[in-house]
Structure 1
Amino acid sequence: MKSSSSSSSSVTKNPKIFKVDLEGNVYCNHDMVSIIRVAGRRSPRIGQKFHGCPLWPRMDYKFFMWKEDADKVLKEQANHTEIKQMPSTLENLKIEYLDLQNKMLVEENKMLKEMNKRLKEENVLLGKSKWGITHVLGFVTVVIAIWLVFGV
């Protein structure tokens, strides 16, 4: 019993190298997805889950890892990956934010140019109208004056 508990603690202290796919499946030394088994009555860790080779007991399996140890390694790796990716994610967010700001400013600039163009056109039309009204008023004034003076 003592030797199995020391071997189980050595699994925790001496991490193993193992393959994992994107879904979190652990692979054995035969490059096969490991099977999760439960420790039996003879184990000091009775009822605890472990990864084992799917070829066991027919072949020499040479693969054993407590599930909690594998989960711990996977969690640490995931945290490390997330932390490592944070600066690039932050940079990407900054770039995306600046791109959006730039697009908004470009659109605002287009709208202001269009508004400026319309105002210039309106100003020209108003200027022509004012000039025309001034001439009409002047002409009407002259006609009234002639009519009053000559009584025609």
Structure 2
Amino acid sequence: MERSKHQFATSGSSSSSRGGSIGRIKCNCGRDAVVRLVKTGPNVGLKFHGCPLWPDTDCGFFKWIGGVRDEVDDLWFQLFEKETTIAELEIHKKMLEDKVKRVQLKKENLEEDLQELKGETSQLRIELMKSARNERNFSLALILSWVLFGIVIMSMM
């Protein structure tokens, strides 16, 4: 890496936003990368993005500019991101559908339980009415037996 640093020189422009389709690119330091030009070696004349503090830093950020390969790589990456997003959304949708099914099943079970409870409540009401009627009958029988007992006692006297 040390040897390759000496092949590069800073171009006249330090702004990465110039040059049409070149957008702002951040280096590893978090700063806006600058456009540099290869001055020597087999890649003479090619442009690349580099750290604005080079050579005084160990950032080491490097990215070639232009060329069909970069655009294809960017498009493939964007396609991969979109496909990943779609897959994540499909998984999320499936999870939500499963959750809806579980909630619907739980709702149906609760509705069945509610119907059973309504039936039990009706049975308890009927039993309560029967016991109230029986209590009235027993009270009436008790009163009549006391009256009869009183009459028997009075007739014996």
Query: Structure 1 length as normaliser, TM-score?
Result: 0.49
Query: Structure 2 length as normaliser, TM-score?
Result: 0.48
Q: Which has more radius of gyration?
A: 2
